[in-house]
Amino acid sequence: MGILEVKNVNKRFGGLQALGNVNLSVAENTVHAIIGPNGAGKSTLLNCLVGKLIPDTGSVMFDGQSVLGRKPFEINQMGISRVFQTPEIFGDLSVMENMLIPCFAKRDGAYSMHAIGSVESEKDVYEKAKAMLEDMNLYDKRDMHSSSMSRGDKRRLEIAMCLSQEPRLLLLDEPTAGMARADTNNTIDLLKQIKEERDITIAIIEHDMHVVFSLAERITVLAQGTPLVEDTPDNIKGHPKVKEAYLGE
Ligand code: ADP
Ligand code: MG
């Protein structure tokens, strides 16, 4: 049993079958990549895991519990955090201010932002945000306007904000899209560091095969809404079905 078990998930948008009988099992403490051509249904699948979309049929189990019918914030509280394709940070706030938001939300819960914490616990929240920024090599940039950071640093901050939720499963949708090579390599190193330092499972949608082969232990190939193959990176390289899906051979 994986920490994430997707069984026979189907999702239609009108006449379009975006997902057809998708099965996916992600083993705990591994990095599992989901790859496939544009329009294969990767983001739709991810949206079904975090409650942004509800599958028409099928089941999604996280750590033995169904996520279906739960709201995104409830799924987040179950231990799933998600990084978006475009960094979702508050550009007008400083790096530290951004970092404090999920740290306070973690303390107070999603619906109690008005909860009055003691000065002592406020200090704890600040210390937690500081420690997270230090761990992510962002503390020196704490007073910087977030919008003026490089794309790689924005991504780093967003990942740090997700990690402050202490997720057991981190989902990333094309985290290196639009990045220069240096930022991409930094993101690979960051994800490796996270994997080494924490008990965490990572599921990553990624286009860049350099990123996929640097990180993934298992790869699922999705094409036209259906998993084609699931295997180790070595076996996926040069797999005839994968070539066919990508190159239309
Ligand atoms: P990928 O992330 O693999 O590129 P998507 O999951 O975004 O693919 O999309 C899969 C298919 O579903 C595409 O044909 C896309 O146009 C369609 N699709 C995605 N979201 C919606 C939506 N909200 N409404 C209608 N069609 C959608
Ligand atoms: Mg997508």
ipTM of the complex: 0.98
Q: What is the residue type of 131?
A: A
Look at ligand 1, atom 26, and give the residue with the nearest C-alpha: 13
Q: Residue 111's pLDDT is what? A: 45
Q: Ligand 1 center to residue 72 CA distance, Å?
A: 19
Q: What is the DSSP string of 18-42?
A: EEEEEEEEE-TT-EEEEE-STTSSH
Q: What is the DSSP string of 52-104?
A: SS--SEEEEEETTEE-TT--HHHHHHHTEEEE-SS----TTSBHHHHHHHHHH
Say yes or no: CB of residue 18 within 6 Å of ligand 1: yes
Task: Indicate if the alpha-carbon torsion angle 63, 69, 72, 77 is positive or negative.
Answer: negative
Longest dimension (CA), the chain: 64
Q: Ligand 2 center to residue 173 CA distance, Å?
A: 7
Q: Ligand 2 center to residue 39 CA distance, Å?
A: 7
Residue 190 to residue 94: CA distance in whole angstroms: 21
Q: Compute CA distances 8 → 36, 69, 153, 210, 221, whole Å.
A: 18, 16, 37, 30, 16
**Can you give the pTM of this predicted structure?**
0.91
Ligand nearest to the CA of 38: 1
Mutate to test the pocket of ligand 1, among 11, 12, 16 (most ligand atoms within 8 A of CB): 16
Give the atom of ligand 1 at the shortest distance from the alpha carbon of 36.
Answer: 3
Say yes or no: CB of residue 36 within 6 Å of ligand 1: yes
Say yes or no: CB of residue 38 within 6 Å of ligand 1: yes
Residue 159 to residue 217: CA distance in whole angstroms: 20
Q: Residue 116's pLDDT is what? A: 54
Q: Are 156 and 138 in contact (CB under 8 A)?
A: yes
Q: Ligand 2 center to residue 249 CA distance, Å?
A: 23
Contacts of 74 (CB under 8 A, 6+ apart): 51
Mutate to test the pocket of ligand 1, among 13, 171, 228 (most ligand atoms within 8 A of CB): 13
Domain count, the chain: 1
Q: Ligand 2 center to residue 206 CA distance, Å?
A: 9
Say yes or no: CB of residue 90 within 6 Å of ligand 1: no
- Averaged in consecutive runs of 10 residues, what is the pLDDT profile of the chain (249 residues)? 96 97 97 95 96 97 96 92 81 95 76 53 88 95 95 92 93 92 93 94 94 96 94 89 69
Q: In terms of residue numbers, what domain contains 96?
A: 4-247
Tokens of 57: 């049929």
Q: Are 102 and 165 in contact (CB under 8 A)?
A: yes
Look at ligand 1, atom 24, and give the residue with the nearest C-alpha: 13
Residue 80 to residue 165: CA distance in whole angstroms: 9
CATH number at residue 174: 3.40.50.300
Task: Give the H/E segment covering residue 112.
Answer: none
